[in-house]
Amino acid sequence: MVHEELWGQLTKLNGEKTAERAKCQYLTEPNRYIITLLNKEYVVDLADKHIFSGRDHLQQEQAEFLEQLCLLSYLINAQDLPLANKLVRPEALPSGQFFFRGIHSLPTEKLEKVFGDCSERLCQIAEKLSAEQCEFGDASIKLHVLPRVPLTIVIWSGDDEFVARASILFDQTAATHLPLDALLASVNLAVDAVIKASE
């Protein structure tokens, strides 16, 4: 089974308390969580150890590997804490300067390629993703990957003098709710969703 260890940890937790920490819904018969990931609702079924999007049985889609990793890790780790409302770079998170490098680097190049010459496109897709427009760079949005994990994407347009640049910023509390591998997975999902919404 995929993520067997995470399922083992989650099934031992109190459902109501977990839902309160994770800011989601817990239902019984069968025991399951209803949780939003990137503006899409997922059902985490504890009985069948199965995660799918949508409550309608005819339209259910199995969650993919990274989606499962994010949802399970978040339900296990999320804390009932308010946002710090302080944006930080990935390197500023605990152990972030060692983790977010090499193959674990954030996928900012993808964003630069798509939005570097047309930064306003980022703001145009904000509504599709239920994201808020921000005032950073030439264009920026804040979107909730998970209920307690917002992500801010900032684009600086390229011109004759400077190449385009993208930054991905976290709330200072991000690593409280997700271990760094799951946080990186959530960023990859968010960037892919943003790029898909722009097509």
69 and 118 co-located in one domain: no
> Looking at the 3D structure of the chain, how many domains does it have?
2
- Residue 82 in any domain: the answer is no
pLDDT band for position 174 (cuts 50, 70, 90): very high
Question: If we measure between CA atoms, which residue out of 159, 151, 148 comes closest to residue 126?
Answer: 151
pLDDT of residue 147: 97
Q: What angle do CA 36, 150, 83 make, to 5 degrees?
A: 110
Q: What is the mean pLDDT of residues 53-62?
A: 75
Report which residue type is found at 130.
Answer: S
Is residue 9 in a domain?
yes
Judgement on whether residues 98 and 69 belong to the same structural domain of the protein: no
Same domain, residue pair 103 and 187: yes
- Position 60 scores a pLDDT of 79
Q: Does position 56 have pLDDT exceeding 70, yes or no?
A: no
- pLDDT for 108 equals 94
Looking at the structure, do residues 67 and 103 belong to the same domain, yes or no? no
- Whether residue 159 is found in the same domain as residue 67: no
| pLDDT on residue 2 | 76
Res. 1: pLDDT tops 70: no
Residue 54, domain member (yes or no): yes
Last residue of a domain, one of 77, 101, 127: 77
For the cut 70, the answer to whether the pLDDT of residue 124 exceeds it is: yes
Tell me the residue range of the domain where 47 lies.
Answer: 4-77
Same domain as 105, residue 26? no
Which pLDDT score, from 0 to 100, does residue 162 have? 81
- Residue 57 clears pLDDT 70, i.e. is over it: no
- Residue 103: which CATH number? 3.30.310
Residues 71 and 96 in one domain: no
Tell which residue, 112, 118, 105, 110, has the closest CA to residue 164.
112
Residues 34 and 59 in one domain: yes
User: How confident is the model over 110-139, as a mean pLDDT?
Assistant: 91
Q: Which of 57, 77, 97 is the last residue of a domain?
A: 77
Mean pLDDT of 185-196: 96
Please tell me whether residues 185 and 93 are part of one structural domain: yes
